[in-house]
Chains A and B, each alone.
Chain A
Amino acid sequence: MVTDIHSLILRNDRAELARMMAWIDDMVAPLELSPETTYAMQLCLEEAVVNIISYAFSAETQHNVRIDVWRDCNRVIAEITDDGEPFDPLAQELPGQPTDLQSAQIGGLGIKLMRSFAADIAYQRAGETNRLTLAFAG
Chain B
Amino acid sequence: MKMDIEPLAQGVVKVILDGRLDINGAGVIDLQFSAIAGSHRGVVVDMTNVSFLASIGIRTLLLGAKSVQRRGGAFVLLNPVDDVEKVLEVTGVTDLMPIFHDNDAALAAVAA
- List chain A positions with a Cβ less than 8 A from chain B: 14-15, 17-18, 21, 36, 39, 42-43, 46-47, 50, 97-102, 104, 106, 109-110, 112-113, 116-117
- List chain B positions with a Cβ less than 8 A from chain A: 20, 22-24, 27, 52, 54-56, 58-59, 62-63, 65-66, 69-70, 83, 86-87, 90-92, 95-97
10 closest residue pairs by CB, A with B: A109-B55, A116-B90, A110-B55, A101-B96, A97-B92, A106-B59, A46-B54, A109-B91, A39-B83, A98-B92
A115 to chain B, nearest CB (A): 8
Select from chain A the residue with minimum beta-carbon distance to B89.
A116
Q: What's the A-B contact tally at a CB cutoff of 8 Å?
A: 66
The winner among A18, A98, A99, A104 for most chain B CB atoms within 10 A is A104
Q: Are A113 and B24 within 8 A (Cβ)?
A: no
Residues of chain A within 8 A of B86, CB atoms compared: 116
The winner among B20, B90, B91 for most chain A CB atoms within 10 A is B91
B70 to chain A, nearest CB (A): 7
Q: Are B56 and A50 within 8 A (Cβ)?
A: yes
Q: Are A101 and B91 within 8 A (Cβ)?
A: no
- Contact among B62, B66, B91 with A113 in the assembled complex (CB-CB below 8 Å): B91
A21 to B86, CA, bound (A): 20
Query: Given A47-B54, A112-B91: A17 and B22 within 8 A (CB)?
Result: yes
Q: Are B96 and A98 within 8 A (Cβ)?
A: yes
A99 to B69, CA, bound (A): 15
Q: Are B56 and A43 within 8 A (Cβ)?
A: no
A54 to chain B, nearest CB (A): 10
B3 to chain A, nearest CB (A): 18
Q: Are B90 and A113 within 8 A (Cβ)?
A: yes
Query: Given A17-B22, A43-B52, A106-B59: A112 and B96 within 8 A (CB)?
Result: no
The winner among A21, A100, A106, A117 for most chain B CB atoms within 10 A is A106
Residues of chain B within 8 A of A21, CB atoms compared: 20, 22
A15 to B23, CA, bound (A): 9
- Contact among B54, B62, B65, B95 with A43 in the assembled complex (CB-CB below 8 Å): B54
